[in-house]
């Protein structure tokens, strides 16, 4: 069957010698992930699964700074934090992208280099194999911006073990390529200048295998990941309504966008004082006797609608 790709605005798909290279093409934004990236990658991987010209897929990012530096925080701050359905759409497309990668039937090699952060780490997790340049740095957690890594939280324990996964996701610690190799996150680490040669070498190994044998092997290896898929979609719903629209994520993303320290302790101090930190200005308990406005924040002294004292 004839397969055509694109036109795409955020990714590139290049076919050569039985290898398809999928590149996140946003180098000026450190290949940050957007809903368009998720949608285009879903389309590409769906098609790659049926393209007889393709034996192996290489997943990478454009430029030399970042494989993928997580979600586009500026876009999330402006669009997703103001509409739960925006968060639902973003995470829904993310989940569909992951499913397309896992179910395409072709081995995917992550060509890793530079920064791999948050959602970029999840793209890596969705790949079958990973070869990293020695300059690669990894941050899997997203709590520093008030988010939750809904893909890595399910898959990380299977990859690196429970305690390492908890450490990586709870502390947001940045680890280097050697540590990633020791923890089983990547298969091999090479000098950056040798990265392409090593990826090509592994591609040739995989090409010289029977195609249906590899397809079924990948499908079977996905077993434990597939079992966790319902949790991924539960995470989508949780992310949309509880994460993307709370004061935590608004503060975390605003701080990131404005290049200032996030006020994490503000939330801890409010909780310690017996107040609900989930509400920016208190729980929506007040009613204005003047205009009848309801569900006004408990900290408000004046009505936000008519200005009357409440």
Task: List the CATH number of the domain containing 238.
Answer: 3.90.226.10
Q: How far is CA 111 from CA 64, 127, 196, 294, 295, in A?
A: 11, 10, 8, 54, 51
Query: Within this chain, do residues 294 and 211 fall inside the same structural domain, yes or no?
Result: no
Q: What is the pLDDT of residue 190?
A: 98
Q: How far is CA 45 from CA 8, 22, 25, 90, 104, in A?
A: 13, 9, 16, 18, 6
Could you tell me what percent of the chain has a pLDDT over 70? 99
Residue 249 lies in a domain: no
Domain C-terminal end among 195, 217, 243:
243
Query: Within this chain, do residues 144 and 292 fall inside the same structural domain, yes or no?
Result: no
When the pLDDT of each residue in the chain is averaged and rounded to a whole number, the result is 92
pLDDT band at 150 (very low <50, low <70, confident <90, very high): confident
Q: What is the pLDDT of residue 221?
A: 95
Mean pLDDT of the region 143-149? 85
Q: What is the pLDDT of residue 244?
A: 66
> How many domains are there within the chain?
2
Secondary structure class of 45 (helix, strand, coil): helix
- What is the enclosing helix (H) or strand (E) of 36? helix 35-48
Q: What is the pLDDT of residue 49?
A: 96
Residue 128 lies in a domain: yes
Mean pLDDT of the region 81-109? 90
Query: Within this chain, do residues 45 and 162 fall inside the same structural domain, yes or no?
Result: yes
Range of the domain at 160: 11-243
Strand partners, 131: 111, 188
Comparing CA positions, the residue from 148, 113, 125, 122 lying closest to residue 30 is: 113
pLDDT band at 256 (very low <50, low <70, confident <90, very high): confident
The C-alpha atoms of residue 18 and residue 13 are separated, in whole angstroms, by 13
Query: Within this chain, do residues 223 and 291 fall inside the same structural domain, yes or no?
Result: no
Beta strands in 75-229 (DSSP E): 108-112, 115-117, 129-133, 137-139, 175-176, 188-190
CA 143 from chain centre, in angstroms, equals 13
Query: Within this chain, do residues 196 and 296 fall inside the same structural domain, yes or no?
Result: no
DSSP-derived letter for residue 209 is S
Query: Within this chain, do residues 284 and 233 fall inside the same structural domain, yes or no?
Result: no
Q: Which two tokens stand for residue 66?
A: 């970042």
Decide if pLDDT at 213 tops 90: yes
Residue 250 lies in a domain: no
Mean pLDDT of the region 32-58? 97
- What is the enclosing helix (H) or strand (E) of 68? strand 66-68
- Contacts of 288-291 spanning 24+ positions with Cβ under 8 A: none
- Tens-digit pLDDT profile for residues 76-89: 777 776 778 888 88
Domain C-terminal end among 189, 215, 243:
243
- Tens-digit pLDDT profile for residues 153-182: 888 999 999 999 999 999 999 999 999 999
Residue 262 lies in a domain: no
Q: What is the pLDDT of residue 124?
A: 97
Q: Give the residue with greater pLDDT, 252 vs 121.
A: 121
CA angle at 100 for the pair 96 and 102, rounded to the nearest 5°: 115
The C-alpha atoms of residue 95 and residue 114 are separated, in whole angstroms, by 24
Query: Within this chain, do residues 230 and 137 fall inside the same structural domain, yes or no?
Result: yes
Residue 216 lies in a domain: yes
Q: What is the pLDDT of residue 176?
A: 98
Cβ-based burial of 48 (10 A; exposed 0-12, middle 13-18, buried ≥19): buried
Query: Within this chain, do residues 16 and 161 fall inside the same structural domain, yes or no?
Result: yes
Query: Within this chain, do residues 61 and 121 fall inside the same structural domain, yes or no?
Result: yes
Residue 77 lies in a domain: yes
pTM of this prediction exceeds 0.75: yes
Query: Within this chain, do residues 166 and 300 fall inside the same structural domain, yes or no?
Result: no
Query: Within this chain, do residues 236 and 283 fall inside the same structural domain, yes or no?
Result: no
């Amino acid at each position: 069957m004839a397969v055509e790709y694109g036109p795409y605005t955020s990714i590139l798909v290049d076919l050569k010698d039985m290898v398809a290279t999928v590149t996140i093409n946003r180098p000026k934004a450190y290949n940050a992930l957007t809903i368009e990236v998720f949608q285009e990658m879903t389309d590409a991987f769906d098609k790659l699964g049926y393209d007889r010209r393709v034996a192996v897929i290489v997943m990478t990012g454009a430029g030399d700074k970042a494989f993928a530096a997580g979600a586009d925080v500026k876009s999330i701050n402006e669009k997703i934090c103001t509409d739960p359905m925006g968060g639902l759409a973003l995470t829904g497309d993310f989940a569909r992208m992951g499913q397309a990668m896992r179910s395409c039937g072709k081995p995917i090699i992550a060509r890793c280099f530079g920064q791999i952060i948050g959602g970029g780490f999840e793209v890596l997790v969705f790949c079958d194999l990973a070869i990293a340049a020695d300059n690669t740095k990894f941050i899997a957690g997203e709590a520093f911006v008030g988010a939750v890594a809904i893909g890595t939280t399910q898959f990380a324990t299977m990859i690196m073990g429970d305690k390492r996964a908890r450490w990586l996701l709870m502390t947001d610690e940045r680890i280097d390529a050697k540590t990633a190799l020791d923890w089983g996150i990547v298969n091999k680490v090479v000098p950056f200048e040798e990265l392409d040669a090593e990826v090509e070498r592994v591609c040739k190994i995989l090409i010289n295998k029977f195609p249906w044998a590899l397809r079924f092997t990948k499908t079977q290896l996905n077993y434990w990941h597939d079992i966790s898929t319902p949790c991924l979609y539960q995470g989508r719903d949780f992310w949309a309504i509880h994460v993307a629209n709370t004061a935590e994520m608004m503060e975390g993303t605003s701080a990131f966008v404005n290049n200032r320290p996030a006020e994490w302790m503000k939330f801890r101090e409010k909780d310690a004082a017996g107040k609900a930190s989930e509400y920016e200005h208190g729980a929506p308990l007040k009613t204005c006797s003047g205009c009848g406005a309801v569900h006004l924040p408990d900290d408000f002294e004046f009505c936000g609608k008519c200005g009357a004292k409440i």
